[in-house]
Structure 1
Amino acid sequence: MKPTLHYVFDPLCGWCYGASLAVGIVAATGAAQLRLLPSGLFQGDGARPMDDNFAAYAWSNDQRIQHLTGQLFSQRYRDGVLADRRQRFDSGPATLALSAVALTAPEQEVQALAAIQRARYVDGQDVTSPDVLAATLAALGLTQAARRFQAADPAVQATADARIAQARALMQRHGARGVPTFIREAGGHERLLDSRSAYGDPGALAAQLMAA
């Protein structure tokens, strides 16, 4: 039986964006059944204003991720996101949008996450905006998810809350800190994988899954 890969992430996590090529390979090759679990790391108490100091820190970290993974952090992102002092660093809206996808078309959540990451880091769009997120989902044909997200469907919030609780329980159980976190489950046994395998060589995560 195919193993399950529990992928704990935050949609505004630059390191998760850096790992997205590896996650895409796992999804494309079918090396594991992917289960996406948002951690809620940068929402609620984890959200914050985008001030000059934080923007500079984020850009420096982003350049490190780009160097290591090859993932682009564009000038449009720097100008349109990091330089925007009206825009908060808050992953709550994107987490809800992805939970709407998990509720209505779970097989497309990896694609939806990649599209949200691309909208932010490449196109410089504000993915804290419900309108931007709904348009991103609609462009993928995820109209039901977009509609339920925009309507603030209580089932979407309940799904998000349950997924965050599951993510945090998994991380606590394995002593994991930060995201991305990858946990392989097979035969009733769980094992924390080395998240560094998702960087540098995008195929290494799938290889680690198969070798485990």
Structure 2
Amino acid sequence: MTDTTVTYLFDPLCGWCYGATSMLDRLAASGVAFELLPTGLFSGSGARPLDAGFAAHAWANDQRIERLSGQVFSQAYLDNVLNVRGTVLDSGAATLGVNAADLVDPNRRLAALKAIQRARYVDGRDIVTADGVAQVLADAGMADAATAVKTPTDDVLAAHRELVGRGRALFQRLHANGVPSLAVIRNDTPRLIGSNALFGSYDNLVAHIQAA
């Protein structure tokens, strides 16, 4: 019997990843097991100032994502996130938050990601600082993860680096051109499923996973 793993590559500050979350919920509800791996796309050297030009580009994309997925990008997000100058697009703290939630229960990684995404795109909250991410996680009932974000131990940071490293390595191995990306790995051989499958019909996505 082949050994099969479905892996979802993402970044918490990627609007397209937020758009794909409803499809992940359907996969999880139907019993499809998958692992979430962050790529660190918008952290470290990938972080950048959130200037007016980038904000306009992001909002245009966000409107398209909303039409395709039904996921809400609110006025609060536009007013309190995109239109606030002097902030940065840096997913380091949010990625740490998702990974910290995993340390107690691997099944919480998706719940933490969804809480962080909703905080940004619906509630217009700060998820680019450690304090902001910690408050979101605390409000979602993940006090231990919140503490780990505010005062990470060496073990937490090591686990975080390992997960991001795995995500980046798989992203590069697949020659993926962005996130979200979905990979089916059979017997240690990954196959990339086009991100378009995450924004079409659910049956089509399942067919892609089964055929990979």
- Which stretch has the larger CA shift, 147-156 or 112-121? 147-156
Residue aligning to 1:153: 153
TM-score, normalization: structure 1?
0.92
Aligned-pair CA distance for 1:29:
1.4
How big is the shift at 1:211? 4.4
Q: Which moved more, 1:147-156 or 1:89-98?
A: 147-156
**1:67 matches 2:71:** no
CA distance in 2, matches of 1:138, 1:120: 15
Q: Which residue of 1 aligns with 2:31?
A: 30
RMSD of aligned C-alpha atoms?
A: 1.7
CA deviations over 1:24-45 (Å, ceiling 9, x no partner): 11122112x2111110110111
Are the aligned partners of 1:97 and 1:146 in contact in 2 as well (CA < 8 Å)? yes
Distance of 1:202 and 1:135 partners within structure 2: 33
Q: Equivalents in 2 of 1:203, 1:161: separation in Å?
A: 35
Q: What aligned pairs does 1:13-52 form with structure 2 within 5 A after superposition?
A: 13-31=14-32, 33-52=33-52
TM-score, with normalisation over the residues of structure 2? 0.92
Alignment correspondent of 1:122: 122
In 1, are the aligned partners of 2:11 and 2:42 still within 8 Å (CA)?
A: yes
Q: Distance in 2 between matches of 1:124 and 1:169?
A: 32
Deviation at 1:188, TM superposition (A): 3.9
Contact conserved, 1:48 with 1:88, CA < 8 A, in 2?
Answer: yes
Amino acid at match of 2:100: A
Q: Decide which moves more: 138-147 or 84-93.
A: 138-147
Segment drifting more, 73-82 vs 167-176: 167-176
Structure 1 position 193, deviation (Å): 1.1
Q: Check if 1:185 corresponds to 2:172.
A: no
Query: Partner of 2:137 in structure 1?
Result: 137
Change (3 A) 1:203 1:135: farther
Aligned counterparts of 1:126 and 1:97: Cα–Cα separation in 2: 13
